Amino acid sequence: MADLNAMSLADLKALQKDVTRAIDSFEKRRKAEAVSALETAAKEMGFSLAELMGQQPGRQRSAAVPKYANPADPSDTWSGRGRQPHWFRDALTAGRSEADLLINT
């Protein structure tokens, strides 16, 4: 064991960093082992761990399809999700309706 009192401050800080890194790595390995054991137990009972935890695996939001187009630049589109783009708000303020800005499909 190293004599901590004989070490320089720089060496002590380096040792502290190494110990913190080793602890983090140890905890990550233990968590991975626990998840693996739980997945194996769930599989033996005919379930997935996600099912038992109430998660829906693979559920992702679909890509937004453009719904509105900028009249000044039709390649500039908006799906109707999220914040309204400036061109959309400006067009509404100028008296155009949402229907006027719809992409004709």
pLDDT digits (tens, 9 = 90+) for 59-86: 666 788 999 999 899 899 999 999 999 9
- The predicted pLDDT at position 55 comes to 74
Which residues lie below 8 Å from residue 88, measured CB to CB, with a gap of 6+?
Answer: 68, 70, 78, 101
The 10 Å Cβ neighbour count of residue 94 is 8
Query: Which has the closest alpha carbon to 49: 31, 36, 33?
Result: 36
Cα dihedral: 41, 47, 51, 53 (round 10): -20
- At 50, is the pLDDT very low, low, confident or very high (cuts 50, 70, 90)? confident
pLDDT digits (tens, 9 = 90+) for 14-34: 999 999 999 999 999 999 999
DSSP count for the chain of H helices, then E strands: 4, 2
Residue 18 backbone phi and psi in degrees, to 5: -65, -40
